[in-house]
């Protein structure tokens, strides 16, 4: 990789010849395949933006001219070109390189959240700041995918950007026809029509040679560009992406033709005012296994063979398939059950539902807010909607859940995958906020299953609930073996362990351990060790963690210490709910809580993060024993 070895900063790119740039693009693809195969990560998206990333850094002066990557899972090439290639062995590992842009890594990284559809709003604000600081000629560049453009926040930002023709915002639409899966909706159809323009077809099918080497989107566009450079205003193409906004549009451009992309971006760089550059790319380009992955084009992978693309480790059965199978079974019995996803039918396990009940499945694009309110409309119409999301993405729809669902008490079921600590994808992907956010909604019910059997039972109970909304949350990772209850109370609370103190001392300290989801199993596993310290231990799993069941109140009244453990934010979480409920009942028993602290953590595996926070079994046992010692 001779050319890549000489790239340490964007300035190095500007010294390369056309031939060297072509070699660099090939070397970057080989580098990505080798390193992402070893660590896992977003391979397909980054293989698709190699030429685009090179051209961006040759044309624009980063970081003076900020380049904002929407979602930023496609920023690996950007990282390589800004001096971080040598760190890729640590990609997504604890203490290593983030899988998204990270402000602590480089001055070239402006944002950190890995949620989609925000880049245009960032660009709007940054461009306003430049104008106010007397730097109006600087460009601000937002790289946004066609999938992200299905999110409403993009349209809100476009409305503001287009309103001011004096700010230099360059909107690069990276159009590969996909998010996780093919992009859906009217906007996707509009993009497809633009791709089918005769000029675009001629370039994609025949290339520059068939156009007598006359440019990047055909002879007509070349003439228009030439005229503009001579100072004559002209229309670049008759077809536009957002004609109603009155913004200049360039494209569609072959995103794998370096010369074409660079010339288009140079045009945008020199243009005065906001402009859209429509670049068509191929996700997974250059890696045959990714190109053959018709479902997701290797959007993200675990550790894989760099030649075959086959996984190197066998994944244990996860939570998502359990949910998927049970929802299909429920839908077989109930014709009113509807499934809704936000551009993630595969990751949330809804593809089997879609295949079995295509008329009862809706993918709304990357639009969680719309998904939740649309579900409320379905419920108002007599249907039973189930909205499947990653927990972290529900954060964007809390207003809709409070005002459009909760206020009118509609029976919408939300199934939150990846709830709790997720790990390698970084701070913004952890699903630690959902209990704190959803538990404040009057009438909300929240379930946290501890194993696969409980997931099936609680999903059925949630779908059957008609008095208001409900949430079923489960973590990332493999499903533990089923843990049968020693006893179930009438309100559904399960006793997982009851261990008298050694010698059955009637005066022994009585400790009640209450865990949410799999944390209840962890507490049961360490109950014997805790009882050996001369205390009586009872471990319960409430199953429904909001509202707090009456049995939890009754058991707390009969114990000397109540300890809660939850896979979520400790502030405003399950422990807080328990404390508030006990206070309402006048119960002054000492209480302690284990949960996620008020921090944005660095990326690490789920196991590493749990251990660091003292939330693995060993860490919880140590802290519980210390609390018991303090009370003894």
Q: What is the pLDDT of residues 171-196, one digit of tens each?
A: 999 988 766 566 666 666 666 666 65
Give the range among 143-157, 208-222, 359-373, 428-442 with minimum mean pLDDT.
208-222
Q: Which tokens sit at 426?
A: 């970084």
Confidence of residue 164 (pLDDT cuts 50, 70, 90): confident
| Over residues 94-117, mean pLDDT | 89
Question: Which residue is catalytic, options 130, 178, 283, 473?
Answer: 283
pLDDT in tens, 547-572: 999 999 999 999 999 999 999 999 99
Q: Please list the residues that pair with 304 across neighbouring strands.
A: 311
Q: pTM (2 decimals)?
A: 0.86
The reported pLDDT for the residue numbered 220 is: 46
DSSP 451: S
Confidence of residue 15 (pLDDT cuts 50, 70, 90): very high
pLDDT in tens, 72-87: 889 999 999 999 999 9
Q: Which tokens sit at 27?
A: 């070397």
What fold, for 487-631?
Answer: Rossmann fold (3.40.50)
Query: What CA–CA distances, in Å, run from 36 to 46, 210, 232, 487, 543?
Result: 10, 37, 47, 47, 39
CA torsion sign for 335, 337, 343, 346 is: negative
The reported pLDDT for the residue numbered 573 is: 95
CA torsion sign for 577, 580, 586, 592 is: positive
Residue 6: pLDDT over 50: yes
Helix, strand or coil, per DSSP, at residue 569: strand
How far apart are alpha carbons 391 and 395 in whole angstroms? 7
Going by the annotation, the residues of the binding site for thiamine diphosphate are 73, 114-116, 147-148, 176, 287, 368
Confidence of residue 204 (pLDDT cuts 50, 70, 90): very low
Is residue 259 annotated as part of the catalytic site, yes or no? no
Mean pLDDT over each residue of the chain, to the nearest integer: 88
How far apart are alpha carbons 580 and 362 in whole angstroms? 39
Q: Please list the residues that pair with 562 across neighbouring strands.
A: 512, 591
The reported pLDDT for the residue numbered 205 is: 43
**How far apart are the two ends of the chain, measured CA to CA in Å?**
65
| Over residues 3-32, mean pLDDT | 94
The reported pLDDT for the residue numbered 616 is: 93
Confidence of residue 208 (pLDDT cuts 50, 70, 90): very low
Going by the annotation, the residues of the binding site are 73, 114-116, 146-148, 176, 287, 368
The reported pLDDT for the residue numbered 182 is: 65
Is residue 396 annotated as part of the catalytic site, yes or no? yes
Residue 382: pLDDT over 90: yes
| Over residues 46-50, mean pLDDT | 93
How far apart are alpha carbons 310 and 37 in whole angstroms? 10
Q: Which tokens sit at 400?
A: 């809709």
The reported pLDDT for the residue numbered 505 is: 60
How far apart are alpha carbons 472 and 59 in whole angstroms? 48
Superfamily the domain 2-292 falls into: Thiamin diphosphate (ThDP)-binding fold, Pyr/PP domains (3.40.50.970)
* 537: Cβ contacts below 8 Å, ≥ 6 apart: 497, 498, 499, 511, 513, 527, 530, 531
Question: Which residue is catalytic, options 263, 368, 536, 566?
Answer: 368
Measured in whole angstroms, the distance separating CA 430 from the mean position of its chain's CA atoms is 9
Query: What CA–CA distances, in Å, run from 485 to 499, 516, 518, 541?
Result: 14, 14, 13, 9
pLDDT in tens, 523-542: 999 999 999 888 999 999 99
DSSP 549: P
For the chain, which residues make up each domain, given as ranges? 2-292, 319-473, 487-631
What fold, for 319-473?
Answer: Rossmann fold (3.40.50)
Are the beta carbons of 141 and 123 closer than 8 angstroms?
Answer: yes
pLDDT in tens, 466-502: 999 999 999 998 999 999 999 999 999 999 999 987 7
Of residues 159 and 297, more confidence is placed in 159
Residue 229: pLDDT over 90: no
Pick left, alpha or beta for residue 249 (phi over 0 → left; psi -120 to 50 → alpha; otherwise beta).
beta
The total of other beta-carbon atoms located within 10 Å of residue 616's CB is 17
For tokens 């196991």, the residue is 607
Q: Please tell me whether the peptide bond between 32 and the residue prior to it is cis, using omega within 30 degrees of 0.
A: no
Going by the annotation, the residues of the binding site for Mg(2+) are 146, 176
Give the range among 20-24, 311-315, 379-383 with minimum mean pLDDT.
311-315
Question: Which residue is catalytic, options 92, 285, 396, 543?
Answer: 396
Of residues 253 and 204, more confidence is placed in 253
Confirm whether 2-292 and 487-631 share one CATH topology: yes
Is residue 356 annotated as part of the catalytic site, yes or no? no
Give the range among 518-522, 576-580, 597-601 with minimum mean pLDDT.
597-601
**Alpha helices (runs of H) in 214-335, residue ranges in sequence order:** 219-229, 258-270, 288-292, 319-333
Of residues 243 and 331, more confidence is placed in 331
Vertex 390 angle, CA 386 and 393, to 5°: 100
């Amino acid at each position: 990789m001779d050319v890549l070895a000489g790239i340490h900063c964007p300035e190095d790119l500007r010294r390369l010849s056309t031939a060297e740039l072509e070699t660099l693009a090939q070397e970057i693809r080989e580098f990505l395949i080798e390193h992402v195969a070893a660590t896992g990560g977003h391979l397909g998206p980054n293989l698709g933006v190699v030429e685009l990333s090179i051209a961006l850094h040759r044309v624009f002066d980063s970081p003076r001219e900020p380049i904002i990557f929407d979602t930023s899972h496609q920023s690996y090439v950007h990282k390589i070109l800004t001096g971080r290639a040598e760190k890729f062995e640590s990609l997504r590992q604890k203490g290593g390189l983030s899988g998204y842009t990270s402000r602590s890594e480089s001055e070239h990284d402006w944002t950190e959240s890995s949620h989609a559809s925000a880049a245009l709003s960032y660009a709007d604000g940054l461009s306003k700041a430049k104008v106010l600081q007397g730097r109006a000629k600087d460009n601000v560049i937002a790289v946004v995918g066609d999938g992200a453009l299905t999110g409403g926040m993009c349209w809100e930002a476009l409305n503001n950007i287009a309103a001011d023709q004096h700010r230099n915002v360059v909107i690069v639409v990276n159009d590969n026809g996909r998010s996780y899966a093919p992009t859906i909706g009217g906007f996707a159809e509009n993009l497809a029509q633009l791709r089918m323009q005769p000029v675009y077809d001629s370039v994609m099918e025949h290339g520059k040679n068939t156009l007598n080497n006359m440019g990047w989107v055909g002879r007509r566009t070349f003439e228009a560009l030439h005229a503009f450079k001579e100072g004559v205003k002209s229309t670049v193409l008759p077809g536009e992406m957002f004609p109603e906004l009155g913004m200049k549009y360039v494209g569609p451009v072959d995103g794998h033709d370096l010369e074409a992309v660079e010339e288009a971006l140079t045009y945008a760089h020199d243009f005065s005012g906001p402009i859209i550059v429509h670049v068509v790319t191929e996700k997974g380009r250059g890696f045959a296994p990714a190109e053959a992955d018709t479902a997701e084009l290797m959007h993200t992978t675990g550790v894989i063979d760099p030649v075959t693309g086959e996984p190197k480790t066998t994944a244990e059965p996860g939570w998502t398939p359990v949910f998927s199978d049970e929802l299909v079974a429920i839908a077989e019995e109930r014709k009113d059950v509807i499934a809704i996803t936000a551009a993630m039918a595969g990751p949330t396990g809804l593809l089997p539902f879609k295949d079995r009940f295509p008329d009862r499945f809706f993918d709304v694009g990357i639009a969680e807010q719309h998904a939740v309110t649309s579900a409320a409309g379905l419920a108002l119409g007599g249907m039973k909607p189930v909205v499947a999301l990653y927990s972290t993405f529900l954060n964007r729809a809390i207003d809709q859940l409070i005002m459009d669902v909760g206020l009118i008490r509609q029976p919408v079921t939300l199934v939150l995958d990846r709830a709790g600590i997720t790990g390698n994808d970084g701070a913004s992907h952890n699903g630690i906020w959902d209990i704190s956010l959803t538990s404040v909604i009057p009438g909300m019910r929240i379930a946290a299953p501890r194993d696969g059997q409980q997931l099936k039972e609680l999903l059925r109970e949630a779908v059957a609930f008609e008095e208001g909304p409900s949430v079923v949350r489960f973590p990332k990772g493999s499903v533990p073996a089923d843990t049968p209850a020693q006893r179930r109370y009438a309100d559904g609370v399960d006793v997982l362990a009851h261990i008298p103190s050694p010698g059955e001392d009637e005066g022994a300290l009585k400790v009640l351990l209450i865990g949410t989801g799999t944390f209840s199993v962890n507490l049961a596993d360490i109950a014997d060790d805790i009882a050996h310290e001369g205390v009586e231990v009872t471990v319960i799993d409430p199953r429904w963690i909001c509202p707090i069941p009456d049995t939890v109140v009754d058991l707390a009244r009969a114990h000397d210490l109540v300890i809660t453990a939850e896979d979520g934010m400790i502030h405003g979480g399950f422990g807080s709910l328990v404390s508030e409920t006990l206070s309402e009942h006048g119960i002054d028993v000492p209480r302690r809580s284990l949960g996620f602290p008020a921090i944005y953590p660095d990326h690490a595996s789920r196991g590493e993060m749990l251990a660091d926070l003292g939330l693995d079994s060993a860490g919880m046992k140590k802290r519980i024993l210390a609390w018991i010692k303090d009370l003894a």
